[in-house]
Amino acid sequence: MTCAKYRSVALATVALIGLPALAQETQEQSPPDPQTAALLERIEQLEAELADLRGVVLQSTETASKAEAAAQDAVDRIAEVQDQTSPAPSYAVSPGMPDTKWHLAGYADVGFVGGDTPGPDSFVSGKFNPALHFQYKDFLLFEGEFEYATTGDGETESELEYSQIDLVLNDHTVLVVGKYLSPIGQFQERLHPSWINKVQGAPAGFGHDGVQPTSDTGVQLRGSIPAGVTRLTYALAVGNGPRTTSEGGVELMGMGSDDNSNKSVGGRIGFFPMPALEVGGSYLTSRVDGIMNPDMPVPAGSGLPLDARFQLWGVDAAYTKGPVAARFEYLKSERGKLFTATDEEPDGVLLPDLKMEAWYGQLSYRLSGFSDSEFIHRLEPVVRYGEFSISGHPELEEENAQNRLNAGLNYWLAPTIVAKAGLEWRDYTVPGVPDETLIQFQLGYGF
Amino acid sequence: MKSCIFPAFTLATILLTGGPAAIAQSGPEETPAAESEADTDPMQDPMQVVRGAKAWNETCSRCHNLRSPSELTDEEWDVSVTHMRVRGNLPASDVRDILAFLQASNNQ
């Protein structure tokens, strides 16, 4: 190669390699034009947004992982619960519950009675009513209640109020067997315990020697049936029924055995026109035998009525909403003519038709919204008026027939502890029987 | 009215209203009914407790004051509610709801 040719190759090499570097250096040193600068700035913004998005995506991924783990845990727990519940019988026992559970309940009261009465003013020991409930699983309950009271001469009276076994047949029916509180009306079955009763005693005619049956021994079917937007409640009973007393009246309490083959049939049906209002109707029918003197048998063919039909019917209503409780009950009974021996006529006497009728209305109002005072909140005024009439039994009428007015003020120490103070005016309807005014105090405790 | 009635009336009034009132006011506060509803098992039907609270309020107060759920244990409520089911002819669905509410609210 010639010298000139070497020079040409060297120059070309220098030109091809060195000029781009020279051009780049020239370009870096010169300021970018506005369009390039804008593009560079846009690129930087996009890079920043991309970094933010990467952070968000990472966070979302972490959250999704946690949610997935929680969902899987929930699915596992549901499967575990299903495994535990699937083999359960129709009457299952709550987890951790023994087969037999029990509960000691009841109520007690003490008090003072004075006023314009034949007897002296007196503190009264009241009643002590322990109740025991034993439940086997969820379908059988035994419940029994005693009543203990101290008489005026210091004796202790005891009585089995009820002793029954309840068998839950299905969601709408319970079979009750044994001695039970009478399902007639509302007062005796639900309202008579002293921590529930707003007044110290029962309304006239709804206690001892009244028209209200206290208990019976037999069998009941009872429960609740849906009826559209409301429901019906029912209690249908067949029992030993009432019995003629030695005074010629009718004993309406559960006997341990029957004195005749005629069982009583009755019960109550209730329904709720609105949630706060319950209305009901009751009915009882039976036959009662006269008491025979073995030494003086009734001659055959005498035509004397040795037994008589006994009928009882009634209606009741209760409106309870917030602090207001309004109640009404009416009962009427009839017994036909009956030949029987009595304490005064041991050889027998023909008793006339016996009719008894009783009703009461009661209104109470808890002063829970009247003031900021806790003391006022616990007060509850109550008023009750009732009438009890009897025809066909002069002694019973003289002793019990009356119009009775109660006015009282209750103080609730707790939902089941009440102190009651009240006045009771007894206007006896038989001429010559002096009226009475009672001042009554009672402390009742339900437990 | 007999003359000894008025001292007796005064004494009994003090005993039965004033004394107990002071005791009651100085005693512990009554437990709110649904205080511990959040303690119920979330796997259960939460609406059952709500239905139970409503049924408890409507049903039990027909006859008596509402007893605080904290008065009894779960086991005792189970028995007591069955007793009231029979006595009050309560629907079984209401009984189950009321029991769920009481057991969820009694802090036991």
Angle at B23 between CA B20 and CA B26, to 5 degrees: 150
The DSSP symbol for A420 reads E
DSSP line for A225-262 = EEETTEEEEEEEEEE---EE-TTSSEE-S--SS-SSS-
- Nearest residue of A to residue B91, measured between CA atoms: A224
Nearest CA-CA partner of A236 in A192, A288, A184, A314: A184
- CB atoms A114 and B5 under 8 Å: yes
pLDDT bin (cut points 50, 70, 90) of residue A329 is very high
Whether the pLDDT of residue A15 is over 60: the answer is: no
- CB atoms A437 and B4 under 8 Å: no
pLDDT of residue A8: 57
pLDDT bin (cut points 50, 70, 90) of residue A10 is low
- Residues 111-130 of chain A with CB under 8 A from chain B are 112, 114-116, 121
Residues in chain B, total: 108
Kindly indicate whether the ipTM for this predicted assembly is greater than 0.90, answering yes or no: no
Calculate the average pLDDT of chain A: 88
Nearest CA-CA partner of A380 in A411, A340, A352, A415: A411
- CB atoms A421 and B1 under 8 Å: no
Q: Work out the minimum CA distance from B38 to partner chain A, whole angstroms.
A: 18
pLDDT of residue A229: 83
Q: Which two tokens stand for residue A430?
A: 């038989």
pLDDT of residue A294: 77
Q: Give the residue-averaged pLDDT of A259-287.
A: 94
Q: Among partner residues B67, B78, B90, which is closest to A101 by beta-carbon distance?
A: B78
Count of domains for chain A:
1
- Nearest residue of B to residue A144, measured between CA atoms: B83
| CATH code, domain carrying A291 | 2.40.160.10
pLDDT of residue A56: 82
Percentage of residues in chain A with pLDDT exceeding 90?
65
Does B12 reach chain A within 8 Å, measured CB to CB?
Answer: yes
Parent domain of A240:
100-446
pLDDT bin (cut points 50, 70, 90) of residue A347 is confident
Q: Work out the minimum CA distance from A251 to partner chain B, whole angstroms.
A: 23
More confident residue, A84 or A437: A437
pLDDT of residue A33: 82
Q: Among partner residues A77, A195, A414, which is closest to B24 by beta-carbon distance?
A: A414
* Low pLDDT (below 50) residues in chain B: 1-40, 42
Does B68 reach chain A within 8 Å, measured CB to CB?
Answer: yes
pLDDT of residue A88: 41
Q: Which residues of B touch A222 (CB under 8 A)?
A: 86, 89
**Is A319 contained in some domain?**
yes
**Is A203 contained in some domain?**
yes
pLDDT of residue A84: 55
Q: Give the residue-averaged pLDDT of A345-350.
A: 89
pLDDT bin (cut points 50, 70, 90) of residue A298 is confident
Delimit the domains of chain B by residue range: 1-30, 37-105
b/e code B18-44 from CB counts within 10 Å (16+ = b): eebbeebeeeeeeeebbebbeebeeee
Q: Which residues of A touch B79 (CB under 8 A)?
A: 101-103, 133-135, 141
DSSP line for A65-107 = HHHHHHHHHHHHHHHHHHHHHTT--SS---TT--SEEEEEEEE
Span A60-113, pLDDT tens digits: 778 777 777 776 776 666 556 555 544 444 444 566 789 999 999 999 999 999
Q: Which residues of B touch A135 (CB under 8 A)?
A: 78-79, 82
Span A178-225, pLDDT tens digits: 999 999 999 999 999 999 999 999 999 998 889 999 999 999 999 999
